[in-house]
Amino acid sequence: MLSHYIEIKILPDPEFSEPMLMGALLNKLHRALVELNTTDIGVAWPEYQLKPKSLGGRLRIHSSAAQLDMLMGLSWLKGMSDHAHCADITEIPKQVEYINFNRKQYKTNADRLRRRRMKRKGESYEEALAHIPVTIERKSDLPFVSLRSQSTGQSFQLFINQSETVSEPQVGQFNSYGLSQGATVPWF
């Protein structure tokens, strides 16, 4: 049950941008959630906006007080003390709305899709080009964080979609980034 939250505020830094620090913060949170092996910790970005696209400088982590206590016991914020301020575990206000934050994946890199098709179907570049035109590429208008996969070492962009607010919570599971396709987190 999402009864409590922790709010982490990115501090201004002359060397690192806010999006870069948010990416580092989410990378560290991801590793901690993998270690905890839990599906009941969700995240929210109170300053999320589409124009200009930004997640903002605050991250809220929602769960039960016990789960948040276990999370903070992992010392996962080590190395971020100069870059972020972490508030204490706090009870969620009584009157809230609910919102969903989920990952939106775009398969937009035409060259990557062509190489994949060539490998899977044994086609030449020209054949793959005929099936996957340049016009397939789409640019996302969603805020994102740049992350690095721990397993492959590849950099990728994690696009974050925010739903409309609802008056009743939707129960479900959260992934190792604290995102969910259906579950909501408190919004206040």
Q: CA-to-CA distance for 26 and 117, rounded, in angstroms? A: 32
Cβ atoms within 10 A of the Cβ of 4, count? 20
The pLDDT value given to residue 62: 99
Q: Using one digit for the tens of pLDDT, what is the confidence trace for 138-176? A: 667 899 998 887 777 778 889 999 999 999 999 999 999
Q: Which residues of 92-101 are buried (b: 16+ CB within 10 A; e: fewer)?
A: beeeeebbbb
Which residues belong to the active site?
30
- What predicted TM-score, i.e. pTM, was given to this entire model? 0.84
CATH classification (class only), 4-105+160-187: alpha beta
**Edge-to-edge strand list for the sheet holding 144-148:** 101-104, 155-162, 144-148
Cβ atoms within 10 A of the Cβ of 20, count? 15
Cβ atoms within 10 A of the Cβ of 181, count? 12
Mean of all residue pLDDT scores within the chain: 92
The string of DSSP codes covering 151-176 is TT--EEEEEEEE---BSS-------T
Phi/psi-derived region of residue 37, left when phi > 0, alpha when psi is between -120 and 50, beta in every other case? left
